[in-house]
Structure 1
Amino acid sequence: MSVMYVLISISIFVAIIFLILFVKSVKNGQFDDGYTPSIRMLFEDEVKKQSKTNKNNNSN
């Protein structure tokens, strides 16, 4: 039974370490998308056309 306490303690410690590393990487901009905003203008017209088509089809 004492092994369970050790394993739970270790797993909580590892989970806290991963949480700290995740928060640190988010604050440093690791998950920021630098590519999509630069090409969004290329596909903006297609999105507008599709939304107009969907609105027209729904109203009929």
Structure 2
Amino acid sequence: MESLYILIPIAILFVIIAIAVFLWAVRSDQFEDLERQGMNVLLDDDDPKKNNEQQSARQDTDES
């Protein structure tokens, strides 16, 4: 029973900290554009074949 006198204020403190962090994230526009970041994974511009062709072209010009 005595441990509740310590645990309840600690839990309340953690809730206050979590709310403060959430409000900071909202005010600093951390949640502004969620869809674009998700689409960056799907629409990857890196093409392995294209990169290999570019690297070989660079090597050809470097050797000349």
For structure 2, which runs of at least 5 residues remain unmatched after alignment? 38-64
For structure 1, which runs of at least 5 residues remain unmatched after alignment? 37-60
Identify the residue that residue 6 of structure 2 maps to in structure 1: 6
How high is the TM-score relative to the length of structure 2?
0.50
Q: Which runs of 4+ in 1 moved over 4 A?
A: none
Higher gyration radius (CA)? 2
Structure 1 or 2: more helix by fraction:
1
Inter-partner Cα distance in structure 2 for 1:30 and 1:12: 25
Computed over aligned residues only, the root mean square deviation of the Cα atoms, in angstroms, reads 1.7
Identity %: 36
Q: Look up the SS of the partner of 1:25 in the other structure.
A: helix
